[in-house]
Amino acid sequence: MPFTVWGLTIAQALLMSGNILLVSISALVGQELAAHPALMTLPIACQFIGVICATLPAAHLMQRLGRKIGFVSGNLIGLLGTWVALQGLLQISLALFALGTFLIGIAIGVGQQYRFAALEACAQPLHARAISMVMAGGVLAAIIGPNLAILSQHWHQASPYAGAFYGLFGLYVLAMLLIMALPLPKPMPINHDAKVRSYKQLFAQPLLLAAVASGMIGYGIMVLIMTATPLAMNHHQHGFADTAHVIQWHVLGMFVPSFVTGSLIRRFTTRRVILWGCGALLLSVLVNLTGQGFWNYWWGLLLLGVGWNFTFIGATHLLTFSYLPAEKAKVQGINEFMVFSAAAVGSLFAGQGLVLLGWAWLNLFAIPWILLVAWLIWRLKEQPLGVKSEA
């Protein structure tokens, strides 16, 4: 595996550490700052809106200027967002804090291109493994993020959450220095004469429709339940340390399978791995419905993470078979836009959904969406895929 892929794996770990740190505290900060319960998850929703706003511009910018310029620019925006969010926390301003998480979301959206950059740095037979490796950087993030959230509680006297943003600032600086040192591929010349299909023509492919739906619903359901979990645990008298540990094991469930997901795809096909992911998501819902004890949350979120891993990595790999080289930025950009739009909806609905529906009905709401993904992937066997047999 090329050195660049390893470097992108570490950069992904640093980026995800910051993301997990935010997941651990943002809903709780929102609960403190919000004037209405419906606004509790506004900071997380703004983070995902930032991700959405970055997706299409980032894909096209990197096609023209290269990955390095794009990634460094994203890190600089993340550093600014960290400072703004800290000011919002210290000034007890939900609007300012949400603006900071929006800017951080832009940085995260740019960083989502790490896995596509890894594809460009290695040969086609290594693509599934390269995607898995970069996503496996989340294992390190699962250790750094929640522990940094716990340890930093005493770094600033004004707020138990303020210290986390000093740690987040340091993570983004390290990620930027690493990206600057990596020999990332230079931008490929754009062939303006190459035919590029319209979105209508692209989405007429059952393969692309299934891949995007798998990424959207897998990510959206994961974010919905994950975002609601700290609030539900707090409501049922679980301490912050217990919540952070549940989130930590959830993130391990998200990324530890990455060490084998690529091999599973090569051996059992992408379609089957995504179906296994749908099964894990359904099991997560069933566990969440059995009670509100610590171990219910622990097992529920662990299975939720595994389900996300299989659906998201499988969807990313399936996506690569749906476009021609000239269509790469267009398809990757619209995929990221739609996937993180679903995540934003999930995060925004989590707080209000928990208040209006309760924990049990919030989980039941996820079931038909998971079954829809399973059906779209299952029916691919009846379609002429026109792709390599491993898909």
* Euclidean distance between CA atoms 309 and 273, whole angstroms: 10
Burial class (CB in 10 A: 0-12, 13-18, 19+), 191: exposed
* Euclidean distance between CA atoms 340 and 323, whole angstroms: 20
Per-residue pLDDT of the chain (391 residues; tens, 9 = 90+): 788 888 888 888 888 787 777 776 777 787 777 777 667 778 877 887 888 888 778 877 887 788 888 899 989 999 999 999 888 888 888 889 889 989 998 998 888 888 778 878 878 778 778 877 887 777 777 777 777 777 776 777 767 777 878 888 888 899 899 999 888 877 666 556 667 888 888 888 888 999 999 999 999 999 899 888 888 887 777 877 788 788 878 888 888 888 888 888 888 888 899 999 999 999 999 999 998 888 889 999 999 999 999 999 899 888 888 888 778 778 888 888 898 888 878 877 887 788 888 888 999 999 999 999 999 999 886 443 333 434 4
* Euclidean distance between CA atoms 99 and 109, whole angstroms: 15
pTM: 0.73
Burial class (CB in 10 A: 0-12, 13-18, 19+), 189: exposed
Q: What are the φ and ψ backbone dihedral angles of 158, each rounded to 5 degrees?
A: -70, -30
* Euclidean distance between CA atoms 49 and 277, whole angstroms: 25
Q: Which residues, 6+ apart, have CB-to-CB distance to 295 below 8 Å?
A: none
Element of type H or E holding 209: helix 206-235
Element of type H or E holding 16: helix 3-33
